[in-house]
C-alpha cells in the first residue's frame, strides 16, 4: 500500500535537536515553565532508553534538579561521595566534598534518561518526535529560524524562535554553522580506553587505579553491573581484547587475584580526547553538551557539563520569553565557556596524572614520579582534597 505523503508547517518556541540527556532535560524544564518546544530525534525511544553511558550526577546538577522540584522523580540512586584511588594495589578512600550540603548521586545516564522520558512524554504530554531524518537547519540573520525534517509521513517544517543543538558530536546542529564562525580547540591524549560493561557490581567504592601495567577504573552502572575502563593503545580494537584478556588485565592492574571472570555485555574503544568549539552559539542556534565539547571519560564529567549548559540556557530562554530580555541568551556562550574550560583543566590534570603515574611508555620515569607525587598529594593534602569541590563549584 502506498503511504500518503503529508507535508506540514508548524510553529513552536524552541526546536530541540536530539533527545539525549541534554535535549530531554531542556525540554522538561521548558515544558514545566509553559514554553512550547518540540524535540526531533533520529533514533527510537527504546534505543535511547537502553543506551548505557555515565553513572554519576554531580552535586551541581542535583541542585539544579532540586530547584526544578524534579530531583526526587528523576534521580533515584544513593549519594556518591567516595572514590577508591589505588597505586599498585595500595588503596586510599578519597572523600568527595559536598557542595553546599549536596552530594553527587549514583544515577546511571540510562536511568536519568528513562525517568526524563516518563516525566516529559508520559506525565507532561511533551512533544518528542522519534525516528526523524534529513534534519536541516535554516538560521539566517533577521529571520525566524526553520527546521525541516522528514518522517514516515512526509516532509515537515518547524518555524521557531530558538534552536537548541543537543545532537552531540556527530549531529547536524554544529555543522549547520557557516565555516569560519567556530574555532575548534582539541587535545589528543595519545591512548584509548577499552570500555567494558560487565555483570559484576562495584562491591566497595568506585575504583580509579594506577599500576605499572596501566590504568584501570571500575564504576557502578546499576545494582548488578559495572563499567570497567582499561587503558590501551590507540591502535587496538575490541577484537584484540577477548573476555579472558580483559579479566586477566583487571586482576593484574588491580593487584587482586581473587576477582572472578563475569559476563562482559559490551566492549568498545574510546580514544581519549578533549574538544571545545567556541562560540557555542550562532544567531538563534545554541549548542549544548557534546555538540560543543567533549571531555575524556576519566573525568566522568561529560553528562554533567551537558546538564550545566542546559541550566544556563533554560534560564536564558525563560528570561527572553518572560521578560522580553535576550541579554542572557546573547551571553550564553560567554557564560558557559569559563566553566567548560575549568572542567577541561580538571579532565586533563586527572587524565595525565592517572596515566603518567603508571605508564612509562608515554612520558618516561621523570613524569611517572611527578604524577605519583601528585597522586599522593591528592590523598594526603587538605588543599588537594578541595580540588574536586573547587572544580565542581566551577564558575557558578
Ligand atoms: P547525547 O546524550 O549523545 O544525545 C544526543 C542525541 O542526539 C541525537 N541525534 C540526532 N537527532 C536528530 N537528528 C540528528 N541529525 C541527530 N544526530 C544525533 C542522538 O541520537 C542522541 O539521542 O548527547 P548530550 O545530550 O550532549 O549528552 C552528552 C552525554 O551523553 C555525554 O557527555 C556522556 O555520556 C559522556 N560520558 C560520561 N559523562 C559523565 O558525566 N560521566 C561518565 O561517567 C561518562 N561516561 C560517557 C561515559 C560517554 C561515553 N560514550 C561512549 C560516549 C562513558 C562512555 C562510554
In this prediction, residue 323 carries a pLDDT of 97
Q: What is the pLDDT averaged over residues 344-370?
A: 89
What average pLDDT does range 284-312 have in this prediction? Answer: 94
pLDDT score at 395: 39
Pocket test for ligand 1, best of 302, 304, 313 (most atoms within 8 A of CB): 302
Residue 396 has pLDDT above 50, yes or no: no
Per-residue pLDDT band at 28 (split at 50, 70, 90)? very high
Cα–Cα distance measured from residue 96 to residue 345, given in angstroms and rounded to the nearest whole number = 18
Q: What is the mean pLDDT of residues 148-154?
A: 96
Residue 359 has pLDDT above 90, yes or no: no
Regarding predicted confidence, which is higher, 392 or 86? 86
**Residue 294 pLDDT:** 97
Q: Is the pLDDT of residue 388 over 80?
A: no
> Which DSSP string do the residues of 101-146 spell out, in sequence order?
TB-EEE--HHHHHHHHHIIIIIIT--EEE-S-EEEEEE--TTS--E
Q: In the numeric block, which cell numbers belong to residue 387?
A: 580540588
pLDDT of 4: 58
**Model confidence, pTM:** 0.92
CB 301, CB 346: distance < 8 Å:
yes
The pLDDT of residue 77 is above 80: no
Ligand 1 pocket member 55 (CB < 6 A): yes
**Secondary structure (3-state) at 244:** helix
Confidence of residue 94 (pLDDT cuts 50, 70, 90): confident
| Choice from 120, 150, 167 to test ligand 1 binding pocket (greatest atom count within 8 A of CB) | 167
Average pLDDT over residues 26-51: 96
Q: How far apart are CA 243 and CA 203, in angstroms?
A: 21
List domains and CATH numbers for the chain. 8-79+105-184+275-346 (3.50.50.60), 187-273+361-393 (3.30.9.10)
Q: What is the structure's pLDDT at 3?
A: 53
Q: Are 117 and 83 in contact (CB under 8 A)?
A: no
With a cut of 90, say whether residue 119 has pLDDT above it: yes
- Indicate whether 1 pLDDT > 70: no
Q: For a pocket test of ligand 1, which of 17, 40, 54, 208 has the largest count of ligand atoms closer than 8 A to its C-beta?
A: 54
If pLDDT is split at 50, 70 and 90, which confidence band does 130 have?
Answer: very high
pLDDT tens-place string over residues 164-173:
999 999 999 9
Q: pLDDT per residue over 193-225, tens digit each?
A: 999 999 998 888 899 999 888 999 998 888 899
Q: Is the pLDDT at 145 greater than 70, yes or no? A: yes
Q: Is the CB of 41 under 6 A from ligand 1?
A: yes
Cβ(296) – ligand 1 distance below 6 Å: no
Cell of 4: 500518503
Q: What is the pLDDT of residue 382?
A: 53
> Which residue(s) pair with 138 in the sheet?
146
Taking CA atoms only, the protein residue closest to ligand 1 atom 49 is 53
> Ligand 1: distance of its center to the CA of 262 in Å?
27
| CA–CA separation, 144 and 119 (whole Å) | 29
Least confident span in 3-7, 131-135, 204-208, 361-365: 3-7
Q: How far is the CA of 52 from the centre of ligand 1 (A)?
A: 10
Taking the CA of residue 294 as reference, the ligand 1 atom at the shortest distance is 32
Amino acid at each position: 500500500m502506498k503511504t500518503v505523503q503529508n507535508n506540514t508547517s508548524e510553529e513552536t518556541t524552541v526546536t530541540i535537536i536530539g533527545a539525549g540527556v541534554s535535549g530531554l532535560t531542556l525540554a522538561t524544564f521548558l515544558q514545566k515553565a509553559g514554553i512550547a518546544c518540540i524535540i526531533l530525534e533520529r533514533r527510537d525511544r527504546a534505543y535511547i532508553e537502553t543506551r548505557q553511558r555515565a553513572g554519576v550526577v554531580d552535586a551541581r546538577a542535583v541542585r539544579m534538579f532540586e530547584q526544578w522540584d524534579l530531583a526526587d522523580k528523576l534521580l533515584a540512586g544513593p549519594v556518591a561521595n567516595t572514590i577508591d584511588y589505588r597505586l599498585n594495589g595500595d588503596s586510599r578512600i578519597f572523600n568527595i566534598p559536598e557542595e553546599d550540603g549536596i552530594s553527587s548521586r549514583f544515577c546511571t545516564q540510562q536511568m536519568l534518561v528513562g525517568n526524563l522520558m516518563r516525566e516529559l512524554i508520559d506525565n507532561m504530554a511533551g512533544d518528542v518526535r522519534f525516528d526523524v531524518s534529513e534534519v536541516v537547519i535554516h538560521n539566517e540573520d533577521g529571520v525566524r529560524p526553520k527546521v525541516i525534517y522528514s518522517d514516515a509521513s512526509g516532509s515537515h517544517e518547524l518555524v521557531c524562535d530558538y534552536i537548541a543543538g543537543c545532537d552531540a558530536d556527530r549531529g547536524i546542529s554544529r555543522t549547520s554553522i557557516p565555516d569560519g564562525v567556530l574555532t575548534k580547540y582539541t587535545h589528543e591524549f595519545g591512548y584509548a580506553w577499552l570500555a567494558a560493561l560487565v555483570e559484576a557490581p562495584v562491591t566497595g567504592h568506585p575504583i580509579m587505579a594506577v599500576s605499572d601495567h596501566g590504568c584501570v577504573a571500575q564504576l557502578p552502572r546499576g545494582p548488578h553491573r559495572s563499567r570497567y575502563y582499561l587503558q590501551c593503545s590507540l591502535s587496538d580494537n575490541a577484537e584484540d581484547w577477548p573476555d579472558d584478556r580483559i579479566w586477566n588485565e583487571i586482576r593484574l592492574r588491580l593487584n587482586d587475584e581473587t576477582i572472578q571472570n563475569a559476563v562482559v555485555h559490551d566492549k568498545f574503544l574510546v580514544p581519549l580526547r578533549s574538544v571545545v568549539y567556541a562560540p557555542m552559539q550562532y544567531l538563534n542556534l545554541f549548542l549544548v553538551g557534546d555538540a560543543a565539547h567533549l571531555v575524556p571519560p576519566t573525568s566522568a564529567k561529560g553528562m554533567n557539563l551537558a546538564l550545566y549548559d542546559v541550566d544556563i540556557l533554560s534560564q536564558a530562554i525563560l528570561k527572553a520569553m518572560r521578560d522580553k530580555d535576550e541579554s542572557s541568551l546573547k551571553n550564553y556562550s560567554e557564560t558557559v565557556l569559563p566553566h567548560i574550560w575549568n572542567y577541561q583543566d580538571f579532565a586533563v590534570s586527572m587524565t595525565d596524572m592517572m596515566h603518567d603515574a603508571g605508564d612509562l611508555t608515554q612520558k618516561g620515569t621523570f613524569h611517572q614520579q611527578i604524577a605519583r607525587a601528585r597522586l599522593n598529594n591528592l590523598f594526603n593534602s587538605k588543599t588537594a582534597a578541595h580540588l574536586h569541590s573547587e572544580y565542581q563549584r566551577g564558575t557558578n
